[in-house]
A and B are shown apart, each in its own frame.
Chain A
Amino acid sequence: MINIEIDGKRIETENGTTVIEAAHKAGISIPHFCYHKKLSIAANCRMCLVQVEKAPKPLPACATPVTEGMKVFTASEQAVKAQKGVMEFLLVNHPLDCPICDQGGECMLQDMSVGYGGGASRYHEEKRTVLSKDIGPLVSAEEMSRCINCTRCVRFGAEIAGQMEMGQAFRGEHAEIMTFVSGTVNSELSGNMIDLCPVGALTSKPFRYKARSWELSRRRSISAHDSLGTSLAVQTKNNHVLRVLPIENEDINECWLSDKDRFAYEGLNSAERLTKPMIKQDGKWQEVEWQVALEYAANGLRHIANGAGAEQIGALATANSTLEELYLLQKLMRGIGSDNVDFRLRQSDFSADDKQQGTPWLGMPIADISRLDSVLIVGSFLRKDHPLLAARIRQAVKKGAQANIIHSVDDDLLMKVANKTIVAPDALVAALSQVAQALDAEKNGKAQTASAGAVAIAKSLSCGGCVAVLLGNFAQQHPQAAQLQALAQQIAALSNGKFGFIGEAANSVGGYLAHATPGTKGLNAASMLATPRKAYVLLNVEAELDTANPQQAIAAMQSADLVIAMSAYKHHATSYADVLLPIAPFTETSGTFVSTEGRVQSFKGAVKPLGEARPAWKVLRVLGNLLKISGFDQDTSEAVRDEALKGVDVAAKLSNTISAIDTNAVSAAGGLQRVSDVPIYATDAVVRRSAPLQATVDAATPQAWLHSEELKKLGVQVGATVKVSQGQGSVSIAAAADDKLPRGVVRVAAGHAATAALGAMFGTITVERA
């Protein structure tokens, strides 16, 4: 520890900290622009100049490490003169167009110039102009003249996002920030540059000119689009969500927010929103009153329960639904007498269900990921599925952790990957068991028989430090998911580490806690669709996009007598549903999400539901009342939550432990195997309708990706249209080459309208010349 004095205040601080950190910790503010606690030190804005005793000139507080006995003056004559001078220089080329600047009112430069600048400028010459740039649909670089060249955006790209898409070119007065090489910024974390930019140079494109900062009300909420449970602020005006910003939470999202969470709100008021209940009569959709629609739904369910039997009714929900909704849905189904309820729509292997002792979760707090020494990530499109978790692992890798990958595709994770094994989906289990075998040999001093890749991973995992095995979405959706889980457990045990699942959606853990899973008599999501039911209750589900096998799902829906779709949007359901009940998305309802680390977080609605849409828990409650099921008399969502979690010790329930499972070998059928990811901006209904997100590179129409040798074998040129078929369905999409893919594999995205006619996310698939 070191003793220093800032403005006469004695401060004890750790060796190695900088003056600005010590001052901020002691509650003394030092003006700054380029300094940011999560980024490296650049010291190029010079705003944080302070006087230090015995130093002949003022020193930048952000780049000056503390030394014993140091005396710092932040408001002495010399410091104030320096700050005033720097401020005047910064404003020399700043356009002062604050009245039309979106940053106006929340601008660091504005605040600092009021706080530390002079009253008037002495500069009357012409200001420099920097041409505007189009850097993509999310971030606006329309007014680059406002830039003060702090390089925060450049450092963010290089250090946090992992790719340096922005850079500073030219020198002196000609220096300007621009995109490097490619014309656009494509990072899935690019929106954070908007928050980082201390001036109005980088602003949000969808938010451009929508509102001034002081007009917005701010509501706390929780991310509904991935499983981290990111804290966010929903900003509204006139009952419209106009912006979403991160709330700093060191344990979860630090101070970042993924673009998916930041810009998904644009889909909330899409033209496709369902605003009135509708029922289909004589093949025609009619808008009706809630009472009529609910009675129609209740009568239909009663009729089928009394006639064909309650087990002919199935309920499907997405894992983006709140805990309350999932709880009431399963309660409704069990009240009717059906045990068929599930929320794991993209899962294909349910054999772990009766062997799983608790609720699968991350296996550790999210914050612990930063402290890992070695991690094995199995089957995860990490960067796209969990952008912030990827950023956290990237930081850990920078600090020396080793990332090991076992997967079927080799996408660039923008971090140093120590070892990777890329195999076809049917060899994933074998690859993982090789690692377990190598680890066993390593630990017990046996001769290594496993492959060199597996041995390298095993060596990395047996480093003796903090180790984890993480199973991603691909591993959870894999047809041998239970085996992967058992192997991960074995590897974690051998390496004294932890293992867990990176939850697929906001409430992947909450669904289990709400018992929205079939009981022993019930059918799971896959068998509910494989053996079609007479009636389905859908909660937030778009059957052709949210399920593991869209073909099967659509067939099941079309053959059903009654489909009750509770959805915020009018969508493909109009072709198979009988009743459409408009429900409120997460900004319009209160609810609870249980994040992948088991954190139970409730949130309140930020705006009123659009039109006649109602929170789904209220709709389910009334349906329960109409069906005369007892226990549907909750008045608030909090009451539902408390009932759902009554006597449940969430922390004690979280467990990934699985008992011995049967090995179910996937028959090695010839031909090409499908590898499917759910593209980052196709994961849920709101995201799919966000126009700015859909305009990004990540939301491009899916292509059929093959190894170029495979393409050659098929005689197909890159870019040519190919016919991809699975089962009875086929789609025509462009062929693309990716030589990092294993042979015998086609990568075709799921969850997208262009590929919704295809079948299961795994399995054989044929590609032919169109």
Chain B
Amino acid sequence: MEKIAHFFKSFLLIELLKGMAVTGKHLFSHKITVHYPEEKTPQSFRFRGLHAQRRYANGEERCIGCKLCEAVCPALAIKIEVAERSDGSRRTTQYDIDLTKCIFCGFCEESCPVDAIVETRVLEYHGEKRGDLYYTKPMLLAVGEKHEAQIAKDRASDAKYR
């Protein structure tokens, strides 16, 4: 009996038609492919991309050099040097993130008491040499200045869950 069933199945190409049916269904269904870079997938406001250093509205940099991010960084990607600025405040003289080491865990942002170091939604950045991905303080501040509106909006959206 089983032999007869097998004979008809292979003679009538049922398996093939089943497969073709799946193909046919997807041929006419709604497409999920995104035409990157023309199209982009939606991002969460908690997206952890390129790092940025923020400033206050008056232009003062937020970072006070507490080094908590440096201490918490599991990949040891952050390097900070601190000195007293002429006005007596504690400021960084060096704030580097080695993005080739970074694992984008977001701990730096979590640990920051003044929301100075943040991870933006930016994921499209590249370097032509290894060294290009070693971000220094001016580079991070520049990223922050460029995306401040988005950063501030994202922090506000997340605030109610904290």
Contact = CB atoms under 8 A, between A and B. Distances in A.
27 contacts: A98-B66, A98-B113, A99-B64, A99-B66, A99-B68, A99-B113, A99-B114, A100-B64, A100-B65, A100-B66, A100-B89, A100-B90, A104-B66, A142-B88, A208-B84, A209-B65, A209-B82, A209-B83, A209-B84, A209-B90, A210-B82, A212-B66, A212-B67, A212-B71, A214-B71, A215-B67, A215-B71
A214 B82 CA distance: 14
Interface string A184-218: 00000000000000000000000011101011000
Chain A facing B: main interface SS: loop
Contacts of B82: 209-210
A208 B82 CA distance: 10
Contacts of A209: 65, 82-84, 90
Nearest to B111: A99
Interface of A: 98-100, 104, 142, 208-210, 212, 214-215
A46 B97 CA distance: 45
Nearest to A210: B82
Contacts of B67: 212, 215
Interface in B80-104: 82-84, 88-90
Contacts of B64: 99-100
- Which 7 A-B pairs give the minimum distances between C-beta atoms? A99-B66, A100-B90, A99-B113, A209-B84, A212-B67, A100-B64, A209-B90
A599 B71 CA distance: 40
B89 to A, nearest CB: 8
Interface residues of B, number: 14
Given A99-B66, A209-B84, 13 more contacts: A98-B66, A98-B113, A99-B68, A99-B114, A100-B65, A100-B66, A100-B90, A208-B84, A209-B65, A210-B82, A212-B66, A214-B71, A215-B67
Contacts of A99: 64, 66, 68, 113-114
A208 B114 CA distance: 21
Contacts of A104: 66
Interface in B122-146: none
A568 B68 CA distance: 37
A142 B84 CA distance: 13
Contacts of B90: 100, 209
A585 to B, nearest CB: 25
Nearest to B91: A209
A212 B67 CA distance: 8
A215 B90 CA distance: 17
Contacts of B68: 99
Nearest to A105: B71
B93 to A, nearest CB: 10
Nearest to B83: A209
A142 B66 CA distance: 17
A582 to B, nearest CB: 27
The residue among B64, B67, B84, B114 with the most chain A CB atoms within 10 A of its own CB is B67
A212 B113 CA distance: 16
Contacts of A98: 66, 113
Contacts of B88: 142
A215 B84 CA distance: 18
A121 to B, nearest CB: 15
A649 B61 CA distance: 64
A100 B114 CA distance: 11
A142 B90 CA distance: 13
A210 B84 CA distance: 9
Interface string B104-119: 0000000001100000
A168 B68 CA distance: 34
A728 to B, nearest CB: 48
Contacts of B66: 98-100, 104, 212
A146 to B, nearest CB: 14
Contacts of A210: 82
Nearest to A142: B88
Contacts of A215: 67, 71
Interface string B66-79: 11100100000000
B159 to A, nearest CB: 17
A215 B66 CA distance: 12
A592 B44 CA distance: 62
A605 to B, nearest CB: 24
A213 to B, nearest CB: 10
A209 B114 CA distance: 18
B90 to A, nearest CB: 5
A212 B70 CA distance: 11
A200 to B, nearest CB: 12
The residue among A104, A142, A209, A215 with the most chain B CB atoms within 10 A of its own CB is A209
B100 to A, nearest CB: 22
A82 to B, nearest CB: 30
Contacts of B84: 208-209
A749 B71 CA distance: 48
A104 B67 CA distance: 11
B137 to A, nearest CB: 16
Contacts of A208: 84
B79 to A, nearest CB: 11
Interface string B43-58: 0000000000000000
B111 to A, nearest CB: 10
Contacts of A142: 88
B72 to A, nearest CB: 11
B41 to A, nearest CB: 36
A100 B88 CA distance: 12
A137 to B, nearest CB: 15
Interface string B19-55: 0000000000000000000000000000000000000
Contacts of A212: 66-67, 71
A227 to B, nearest CB: 36
B18 to A, nearest CB: 60
A214 B84 CA distance: 19
Nearest to A102: B90
A449 B66 CA distance: 71
A210 B83 CA distance: 7
Nearest to B85: A209
The residue among A210, A212, A214 with the most chain B CB atoms within 10 A of its own CB is A212
B22 to A, nearest CB: 55
A142 B82 CA distance: 18
Nearest to B88: A142
Contacts of A214: 71
Contacts of A100: 64-66, 89-90
A141 to B, nearest CB: 14
The residue among B84, B89, B90 with the most chain A CB atoms within 10 A of its own CB is B90
A414 to B, nearest CB: 34
B162 to A, nearest CB: 13
Contacts of B89: 100
A210 B90 CA distance: 10
A104 B66 CA distance: 9
Contacts of B83: 209
B9 to A, nearest CB: 68
A326 to B, nearest CB: 39
A275 B114 CA distance: 42
A55 B89 CA distance: 49
B96 to A, nearest CB: 14
A208 B84 CA distance: 8
A212 B90 CA distance: 12
A216 to B, nearest CB: 12
A100 B116 CA distance: 14
A60 B66 CA distance: 35
A247 B66 CA distance: 27
Nearest to B71: A214
Nearest to B66: A99
A368 to B, nearest CB: 45
A98 B113 CA distance: 10
Contacts of B114: 99
B56 to A, nearest CB: 15
A240 to B, nearest CB: 12
A100 B65 CA distance: 7
A209 B71 CA distance: 16
B62 to A, nearest CB: 11
